[in-house]
Amino acid sequence: MKVWALHLALIIALAVALAVLPPYPATTLARILVLAVFAMGYNLAFGYTGLLSLGHALFLAAGVFAAGLSAQFWGLSAGPALLLGVAAGGLVAAAVGLLALRTAGVSFMIVTLMFAQAGYLTVLYFGTITGGDEGFNLPAASRTVFGFDLSTDTPRFVAALVLFAVGLLASLALVRSSFGRSMVAMRENEERSRMLGINPFAVKLAALVLSGLYAGAAGAAYALLFGYAGANFATIQYSILPMLYVLLGGAGTTIGPFLGALLMFGLIEVTSRMARLWPVLEGMDYFLIGAALVVLVLFAPRGILGTLRERGLKWLP
């Protein structure tokens, strides 16, 4: 019971924060919530199932362009465009999984990276439609849901929070289910899981598809809430970011992806301000972030929440 109470308390705290924060930090928090949903999906594949992927930018970009292009060319409103983005992320993940899951370990990581790079090059090749590197802005008429304009502050904040809340609670329910236990069993010992009657390929494929659904939802939401779709969402950066969020917050913990995204945004903001105050540090912001991550790996290799769970809070999911 206290597990559900913790997650509901987090959602309520975020609602209060969005209500009292000025527009700029509230917009930043909305971005964090959307990217935290992306990281939740990555956590299902990596943190709970043990699938180390470098191809999640492809699933994110599928959601971004499914929503963005359908709004641009078909005039879909935010609701149908979001659903189309979710479906696109899941379908692309299923297609990649059917091929990539024939490999394992480092080979799986490399194959997913190759798929992601192929997706990025495809976006560039069809630049007349996708906008290429420059991307395109979504039409204002498509950024409405139930009559609310998502380009304005309050509806955008509420939409980001609702998406995050649904993703968080669905993730919690999933990992506490029998399928969630199968995912963890796959991560811990695949051969023993097979002896218990679990189909490794089916479990891994289902986990990857679920991860793709989360990534597609995050991509579609990002495009609709912030009004932009571009090739940068398909770059390797967006395959590495969710991994960093999960490692920082705690792989295999439901709140870890949000905590990691929040701390990473905060770390980037602090180092950027330091660089502005002391010009000698200009260009060293990523070095400082990297140093902080090295310290984390050395002293808390399971991430913040993973370490807390290991040292006493055994009930953390």
More confidently predicted of 312 and 244? 244
H helix or E strand, kind and range, residue 217: helix 200-226
Q: Say how far apart CA 123 and CA 296 lie, in whole Å.
A: 35
Is 54 part of any domain?
yes
Q: Say how far apart CA 58 and CA 119 lie, in whole Å.
A: 6
Q: Note down the domain range covering 186.
A: 2-310
Average pLDDT over the chain, rounded to whole?
89
Is 155 part of any domain?
yes
Angle 152-212-58 (CA atoms, 0-180°, nearest 5)? 85
Segment 194-235, tens digit of pLDDT: 888 889 999 999 999 999 999 999 999 999 999 999 999 999
The CATH code of the domain that includes 268 is 1.10.3470
Taking alpha carbons only, the member of 236, 257, 188, 248 closest to residue 42 is: 257
Beta strands (DSSP E) in the chain are: 136-137, 144-145, 148-149, 228-229
Is 23 part of any domain?
yes
Q: Say how far apart CA 113 and CA 279 lie, in whole Å.
A: 36
Is 12 part of any domain?
yes
Q: Say how far apart CA 196 and CA 198 lie, in whole Å.
A: 6
Confidence of residue 113 (pLDDT cuts 50, 70, 90): very high
Hey, CA dihedral for 246, 231, 30, 214, is it positive or negative? negative
Hey, CA dihedral for 310, 256, 21, 276, is it positive or negative? positive
Q: Which residues share a beta bridge with 149? A: 144
Q: Say how far apart CA 84 and CA 229 lie, in whole Å.
A: 15
Looking at this protein, which amino acid is placed at residue 156? R
Looking at this protein, which amino acid is placed at residue 6? L
Is 168 part of any domain?
yes
Q: Domains in the chain: how many in total?
A: 1
pTM value is 0.93
Is 52 part of any domain?
yes
Is 316 part of any domain?
no
Segment 144-159, tens digit of pLDDT: 888 888 888 889 999 9
Segment 11-68, tens digit of pLDDT: 999 999 988 989 888 999 999 999 999 999 999 999 999 999 999 999 999 999 999 9
Q: Say how far apart CA 22 and CA 117 lie, in whole Å.
A: 38
Long-range contacts of 181-190 (CB under 8 A, 24+ apart): 183/44, 183/48, 183/49, 183/207, 184/48, 184/49, 184/252, 186/49, 186/50, 187/48, 187/49, 187/50, 187/252, 188/50
Q: Say how far apart CA 158 and CA 195 lie, in whole Å.
A: 46
Sequence-distant (6+) residues with CB within 8 A of 5 are none
Q: Say how far apart CA 102 and CA 52 lie, in whole Å.
A: 14
Name the percent of the chain lying above pLDDT 90. 62
Q: Say how far apart CA 62 and CA 39 lie, in whole Å.
A: 16
